[in-house]
Amino acid sequence: MMTTTLNELRTDALREIGNIGLGGAVTALSDLTGVLFTLEAPQVHQIDTRTLSELCWMAPESLVVGTVSRVNGDWPGEGAFLFPWDSACVLWQILVQMQPSGLDDLNELYQSVINEVSNIMLGNYLQAISQMTGFTMHMEPPAFAADMAMAVLGSILVEALYGQRELLAIETAFKTPEHEFKGYFLYLPETGNLEKLFGILGI
Amino acid sequence: MGRMEVKLAGMGEIVFAKGAGVLGCIGLGSCVGALLYDSRTQAAALAHVMLPDANEGDAFALPGKYATTALPALLRTLDTPPALAARLKAILIGGGELFQNRSQALRIGERNVETLQRLLRELRIEVVFEHILGSSGRSFEFDVATGLIRVRAVGGAPMEKDLSAALGILRRAA
């Protein structure tokens, strides 16, 4: 049984929060790169184990680069970014004018670029939400991985699931017309704290 | 392998094959594929284990989700009482830690592996093949008829091993 009732209004509210949050994050990415990024409409998934495997939007064994950051404070959870390898290469090319030849060449410089992009985007995401809700939130430095899409996503979801009765994912994709690029953002809130958010929003 | 369709265990799921068939998991990160094989019946059951043990009031408990519930469920699937479990053989794949220096160090992959190894020891089930821990994700396929296992990781050639002798599979005439 799901313990949080996600009616249409609440789902809409979470979607709108995702929109506002990631709007701020994508603006920050555009400022950083000088490239215009656009958002797809966020989706809210109430996840049970059966849908976990279906949440993988990429070919399950394709190479992705991802980060995950712990968020503490009034709306705790985990914020994660996933970039298909070719999209990560677009970011590297824009930001440091070079790209790794492959997984073996993925040194600390490349990792720190992705970590920094995640930091800036998640920071702006949280700031946008905090402006709307008055919540105080702070994030820990991101952890980095480059591996099979399904393995990276699975590791993120399983850890977010630990100690929780249910899992909620607010998912957004962002892209740019200028490059073959797609990025994915997931916020996995601790579901025990959702009522607090809904209370603030008066729903 | 390859021509035959692979029965894949999604997260928390259990799959089963007898006599013939290929079982596998795609993209194991901290999750562990735990497979038990019975040479008497030529049957195998595979669980895609996500977490070491259950938390209270779990909203969507699938039997294969936790190490502690997955092994009893595998025994039931293979129709083997715990007292006779020693005749089974085990294969463990996965339990990697893909994210280095994660702030919330739950070590889930490592704990999944430790818990499964401990429970298998208690059941006196021999682990005949492991491809575990480390920092990489894995996919694998196991051919129930031949005992051939194939493990894939990103950025490397797939590794293949014939486990027929270790599993007690009799060579059949071609």
State whether A60 and B27 contact (CB < 8 Å): yes
The residue with tokens 């990103």 is B154
Closest chain B residue by Cα to residue A47: B60
3-state secondary structure of A167: strand
| pLDDT over threshold 70, residue A109 | yes
Q: Taking CB atoms and an 8 Å limit, are A158 and B108 in contact across chains? A: yes
For chain A, the average pLDDT equals: 87
CB within 8 Å: A148 and B154: yes
| Closest CA relative to residue B64, chosen from B42, B43, B33 | B33
User: Looking at the complex, does the CB of residue B106 fall below 8 Å from at least one CB of chain A?
Assistant: yes
Question: What are the residues whose beta carbons fall under 8 Å from the beta carbon of B122, sequence distance 6 or more?
Answer: none
A to B CB pairs, distance under 8 Å: 127
Q: Which regions in chain B score pLDDT beneath 50?
A: 1-2, 173-174
Q: Which of residues 113-172 of B touch A (CB under 8 A)?
A: 136-139, 152-155
Domain-wise residue ranges, chain B: 6-165
CA distances from A27 to A44, A129, A174 (A): 22, 14, 11
Burial class for A23, CB neighbours closer than 10 Å (0-12, 13-18, 19+)? middle
The single residue listed with the structure tokens 């989706």 is A43
C-alpha to C-alpha distance for A97 and A105, rounded to whole angstroms: 15
* 3-class secondary structure, A94: helix
Domain ranges of chain A: 8-52+82-201
Share of chain B above pLDDT 90, in %: 79
For B6-165, the fitting CATH number among 3.40.50.300, 3.30.1330.200, 3.40.50.1010, 1.20.1070.10 is 3.30.1330.200
pLDDT higher than 60, residue A2: no
Asked whether residue A55 carries a pLDDT value surpassing 80, the answer given is: no
pTM of the model: 0.91
Q: Which of B55, B93, B100, B102 to mutate to test the interface with A (most CBs of A within 10 A)?
A: B102
CA A68 to chain centre: 8
B110 interfaces chain A, CB cutoff of 8 Å: no
- Distance between CA B98 and CA A147 in Å, rounded? 7
Minimum Cα–Cα distance from B139: chain A residue: A61
Interface touch A70/B103, C-beta < 8 Å: yes
B28 in contact with chain A, both atoms CB, cutoff 8 A: yes
CA–CA gap between residue B147 and residue B161 (Å, rounded):
8
pLDDT in tens, A145-171: 999 999 999 999 888 888 776 677 888
* B19 touching chain A per CB within 8 A: no
Comparing CB atoms, the residue among B59, B98, B101 nearest residue A147 is: B98
Max CA distance (Å), chain A: 51
CATH topology of domain A8-52+82-201: Chemotaxis protein chec (3.40.1550)
Nearest-by-Cβ selection for B30 from A48, A158, A165 = A158
**pLDDT confidence tier of residue A195, bands split at 50, 70 and 90:** confident
User: pLDDT band for position A133 (50/70/90)?
Assistant: confident
Q: Which residues of chain A neighbour B58 with C-beta distances below 8 Å?
A: 165
| pLDDT of A16 higher than 50 | yes
d(CA A188, CA A159): 10
Average pLDDT, chain B: 91
Cα–Cα distance for residue pair B72/A10, rounded to 1 Å: 39
Helix (H) or strand (E) holding A42: none
Q: What is the pLDDT of residues B85-111, one digit of tens each?
A: 999 999 999 999 999 877 667 899 999
- Cα-based angle A35, A36, A42 (whole degrees, multiple of 5): 130
pLDDT at residue A188 above 80? yes
Given pLDDT bands bounded at 50, 70 and 90, which one contains residue A1?
A: very low
Contact list, B12 vs chain A (CB under 8 Å): 49-50, 52
What does the block give as tokens for B109? 């992959």
For chain B, how many helices (H) and strands (E)? 3, 10
The arithmetic mean of pLDDT across residues A62-70, rounded, is 94
